[in-house]
């Protein structure tokens, strides 16, 4: 309190017409900045929900594909797209998680050396790598060099490059929070370091790591650029990651775009907003669940 | 530690995770600071003072325990190499990206009939290869820098609001809302931008054109809504969360002494912020802005959907109120036609330039963060 009282008197005495005005102005601007951020969020969510909701409640939206459905026809669903996205993301997760966990463990539990510094730097670079560059790299390796055909599996590989840094960073943060006493207690009992990490450190940080994985999934599920380059969009259900074009949620949105300006048939536009809403529900849902898990998680001694 | 405090900590960590998604190079490894996540909602509160947290798990701790026994267990060795191998894999991966992009781009650049860096041509489907990146570079840099200039002041404002102005109960929801912006997939930003947002900008564009049209940057060139201006604003919204997250983190760390000193001098709130918070956070905000710039440079699908590509042979225009193609959108637009190696090589060359650009920006941001760590 003593700090506050002189503040007000000084500000008042040294005349602060100008100072008080500046102070109020700053308060207004700072608050307004938040309002500015709120506008696009509300506007965008409102647009997607209001335009997409009716499509989501159509019969068959969640269970059928877009087979034999053109922009002139209503109906069809997103099942093929959900399946494709789910498969690609699942494979990506299966590859990313072990790599990212090991990297995170290395940086925290064994870090400090020159390689660790370099690795940490490279993870940062990987975080900043544009998805289209990751896709081009996979294309250059597997399709031009090894003459593969475009397929879902390559999308998974490109997504790995985007997902690994997310999980590495979260794993690092979580491992840092594990109290050193736990490690020391384990060493004191004669447990080897690797076993301490596997049985004590990682399980303690487990829920935090799960959060990181879910955030990673949310990050890659909405990625579109790798899809354009590495697999074509197919309106049919194709569950084969190894060959053929595959449906995917972002791919399905993109596929409707050419017909957006069509004034006679609005089905493509409806479908696009419906898919966008579906994608937002999935990605935001994952995000929210990840945060809930993080909140519940306890790294405590 | 009280329940409330531990909940605070978890909440803050959850927020920090959002940011880890984008920008892990934030001051995440400040040694000696108890909490790497910027958890210190109240600096130097007891939540941070837990000794367990204060000791960052020092690498190799415990090694001495068995080192003393003079015996290296085989499991330890294997596990160590396994994790180091994963780390090495990441390093090699980045190297491979550079190597493969170079290897695929060089033959096409060698066959390029015009100068790769200075030509505006992009003719890769015929028998002669003519492509240059100057237009792409301009549109990419213009849209990204414009987005950064829009986003940074707003991000600073929000970060100040969260850390200095808002009451505790409001600060967390606000931070959450900003983080939600990052959870929206970029293709949704793209379709929203081109169908709903961009057409609304006509009034602003006409206004700016009327009064500032004598500056080439603000000269209206097309009536199509798909302008760099619209794309830049959408990019700004997309990079807002990452810059905000980093600014918030550094502002939270402002030393108590600096703040108290400003109060003791009789500063108003704003003067306190200007004298202590802003100078302290400056390097962090700069690196956050650069990370945001890196994101904007590489953003693909939103920009591809929004920007209208000018017809080939159209004269160059530096204007914001003009369409164009960025590196990423050029590649994405052509993705379906990647069929012969030389043609694809031209696009890979564009991708290589984009890679170098984002690498440089991200590395610079990282260096700024590191330098700051040495001083603080």
- pLDDT, tens digit, for every residue of B58-99? 444 444 444 445 567 888 999 999 999 999 999 999 999 999
Task: Give me the sign of the Cα torsion angle B254, B260, B265, B268.
Answer: positive
> Domain range holding B299?
135-375
Token pair for B129: 């290869």
CA distance A242 to chain B (A): 19
Here the CATH number for the domain that contains residue A239 is 1.10.3720.10
A72 domain residue, yes or no? no
Q: Range with the lowest mean pLDDT among A28-37, B283-292, B310-319?
A: B310-319
Interface check for A250 against chain B (CB to CB < 8 A): the answer is yes
ipTM: 0.89
Structural domains counted in chain B: 1
**A-contacting residues in B 27-56 (Cβ below 8 Å):** 28-29, 36-37, 52-53, 55-56
What is the predicted pLDDT for the residue at B62? 43
What is the predicted pLDDT for the residue at B70? 56
Residues in chain A with CB shorter than 8 Å from the CB of B53 are 177, 179
**A-contacting residues in B 242-261 (Cβ below 8 Å):** 244, 260
- For B46-58, the DSSP string reads HHHH-HHHHS---
A184 domain residue, yes or no? yes
Q: Is pLDDT larger for residue B350 or for residue A34?
A: B350
Residues of chain A where predicted confidence (pLDDT) is lower than 50: 1-13, 299-301
B42 close to B253: Cβ distance less than 8 angstroms: no
Q: Range with the lowest mean pLDDT among A248-252, B19-23, B272-276, B335-339?
A: B19-23
B269 domain residue, yes or no? yes
**Neighbour tally for A1: CB within 10 Å:** 4
Token pair for A114: 């020159």
Query: Alpha helix locations (H) across chain B?
Result: 3-22, 46-49, 51-54, 63-67, 74-111, 134-160, 168-182, 186-192, 202-212, 228-252, 256-264, 269-272, 278-298, 301-306, 327-334, 341-375
Q: Which of B188, B295, B331, B356 to mutate to test the interface with A (most CBs of A within 10 A)?
A: B188
> Domain range holding A226?
82-248
What is the predicted pLDDT for the residue at B330? 93
What is the predicted pLDDT for the residue at B31? 37
Interface check for A7 against chain B (CB to CB < 8 A): the answer is yes
Q: What is the pTM of this model?
A: 0.84
CA distances from A191 to A104, A210, B1, B73, B79 (A): 21, 25, 29, 11, 14
| pLDDT band at B43; cut points 50, 70, 90 | very low
**Neighbour tally for B223: CB within 10 Å:** 10
CA distance linking residue A113 with residue B316, whole number of Å = 50
**A-contacting residues in B 197-226 (Cβ below 8 Å):** 197
Q: Does A38 sit within 8 Å of B177, measured CB to CB?
A: yes
What is the predicted pLDDT for the residue at A297? 64
What is the predicted pLDDT for the residue at B286? 92
| pLDDT band at B168; cut points 50, 70, 90 | confident
CA distance linking residue A183 with residue A76, whole number of Å = 55
> Counting one residue from A and one from B, how many pairs have CB atoms under 8 Å apart?
368
B142 domain residue, yes or no? yes
Q: Does B57 sit within 8 Å of A109, measured CB to CB?
A: yes
- Residue B21's nearest CA partner among B227, B264, B212, B183 is B183
CA distance A244 to chain B (A): 14
Q: What share of chain B is helix, strand, coil (3-state, %, to 5)?
A: 70, 0, 30
Token pair for A217: 């999934």
CA distance linking residue A231 with residue A235, whole number of Å = 13
Structural domains counted in chain A: 1
Task: Give me the sign of the Cα torsion angle B307, B312, B315, B318.
Answer: positive
What is the predicted pLDDT for the residue at B341? 81
What is the predicted pLDDT for the residue at B145? 96
Angle at the Cα of B276 from the Cα atoms of B274 and B280, rounded to 5 degrees: 105
pLDDT at B344 over 80: yes
A183 domain residue, yes or no? yes
- Average model confidence (pLDDT) across chain B: 82
Interface check for A35 against chain B (CB to CB < 8 A): the answer is no
What is the predicted pLDDT for the residue at B34? 39
Of all residues in chain B, the percent with pLDDT exceeding 70 is: 80
Interval B108-115 mean pLDDT: 90
Q: Which residue in the block uniquely carries the two structure tokens 């590509």?
A: B309
A75 domain residue, yes or no? no
What is the predicted pLDDT for the residue at B200? 93
What is the predicted pLDDT for the residue at A126? 93
Q: How far is CA B250 from the centre of its chain?
A: 16
Here the CATH number for the domain that contains residue B234 is 1.10.3720.10
**Smallest Cβ distance to A108: which of B57, B355, B359?**
B57
């Amino acid at each position: 309190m003593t700090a506050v009282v002189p503040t007000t008197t000084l500000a008042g005495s040294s005349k602060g017409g100008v100072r008080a005005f500046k102070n109020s102005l700053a308060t207004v601007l700072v608050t307004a900045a938040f309002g500015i951020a709120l506008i696009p969020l509300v506007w965008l969510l409102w647009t997607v929900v209001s335009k997409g909701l009716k499509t989501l409640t159509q019969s068959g939206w969640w269970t059928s594909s877009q087979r034999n459905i053109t922009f002139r026809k209503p109906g069809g669903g997103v099942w093929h797209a959900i399946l494709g996205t789910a498969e690609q993301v699942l494979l990506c997760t299966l590859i990313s998680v072990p790599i990212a966990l090991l990297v995170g463990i290395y940086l925290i539990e064994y870090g400090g050396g020159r390689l660790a510094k370099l690795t940490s730097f490279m993870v940062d670079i990987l975080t900043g790598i544009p998805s289209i560059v990751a896709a081009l790299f996979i294309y250059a390796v597997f399709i031009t060099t090894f003459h593969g055909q475009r397929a879902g599996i390559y999308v998974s590989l490109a997504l790995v490059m985007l997902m690994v840094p997310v999980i590495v960073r979260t794993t690092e943060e979580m491992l840092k929070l594990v109290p050193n006493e736990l490690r020391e207690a384990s060493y004191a009992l004669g447990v080897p370091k690797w076993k301490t990490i596997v049985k004590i450190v990682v399980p303690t940080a487990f829920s935090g790591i799960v959060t990181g994985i879910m955030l990673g999934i949310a990050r890659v599920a909405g990625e579109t650029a790798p899809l354009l380059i590495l697999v074509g969009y197919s309106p049919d259900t194709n569950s084969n990651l190894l060959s053929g074009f595959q449906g995917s949620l972002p791919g399905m949105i993109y596929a409707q775009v050419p017909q957006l300006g069509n004034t006679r048939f609005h089905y493509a536009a409806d479908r696009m907003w419906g898919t966008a809403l579906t994608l937002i529900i999935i990605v935001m849902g994952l995000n929210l669940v990840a945060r809930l898990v993080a909140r519940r998680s306890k790294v405590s001694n | 530690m009280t329940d409330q405090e531990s909940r605070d900590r978890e909440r803050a960590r959850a927020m920090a995770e959002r940011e880890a998604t984008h920008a892990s190079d934030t001051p995440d490894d400040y040694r000696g600071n108890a909490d790497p996540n910027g958890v210190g909602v109240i600096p130097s509160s007891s939540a941070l003072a837990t000794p367990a947290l204060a000791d960052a798990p020092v690498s190799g701790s415990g090694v001495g325990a068995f080192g003393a026994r003079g015996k290296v267990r085989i499991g330890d060795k294997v596990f160590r190499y396994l994790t180091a191998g994963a780390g090495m894999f990441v390093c090699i991966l980045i190297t491979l990206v550079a190597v493969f992009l170079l290897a695929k781009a060089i033959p096409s650049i060698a066959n390029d009939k015009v100068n790769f860096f200075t030509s505006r041509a992009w003719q890769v489907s015929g028998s002669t290869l003519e492509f240059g990146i100057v237009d792409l570079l301009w549109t990419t840099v213009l849209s990204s820098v414009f987005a950064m200039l829009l986003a940074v002041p707003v991000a600073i404002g929000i970060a100040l609001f969260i850390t200095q102005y808002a009451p505790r109960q409001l600060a967390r929801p606000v931070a959450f809302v900003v983080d939600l912006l990052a959870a929206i997939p970029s293709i949704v930003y793209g379709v929203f931008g081109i169908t709903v947002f961009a057409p609304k900008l006509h009034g602003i564009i006409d206004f700016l054109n009327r009064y500032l049209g004598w500056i080439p940057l603000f000269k209206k060139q097309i009536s199509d809504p798909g302008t760099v201006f619209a794309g830049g604003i959408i990019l700004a919204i997309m990079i807002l969360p990452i810059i905000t997250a980093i600014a918030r983190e550094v502002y939270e760390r402002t030393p108590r002494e600096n703040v108290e000193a400003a109060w003791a001098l009789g500063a108003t709130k704003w003067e306190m912020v200007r004298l202590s918070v802003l100078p302290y956070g400056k390097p962090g905000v700069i690196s956050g802005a650069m990370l945001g710039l890196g994101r904007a440079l590489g953003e693909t699908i939103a920009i591809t959907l929004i920007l209208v590509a000018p017809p080939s042979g159209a004269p160059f225009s530096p204007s914001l109120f003009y369409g164009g193609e960025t590196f990423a959108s050029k590649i994405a637009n052509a993705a379906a036609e990647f069929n012969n190696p030389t043609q694809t090589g031209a696009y890979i060359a564009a991708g290589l330039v984009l890679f170098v650009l984002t690498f440089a920006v991200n590395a610079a941001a990282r260096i700024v963060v590191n330098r700051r760590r040495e001083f603080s």
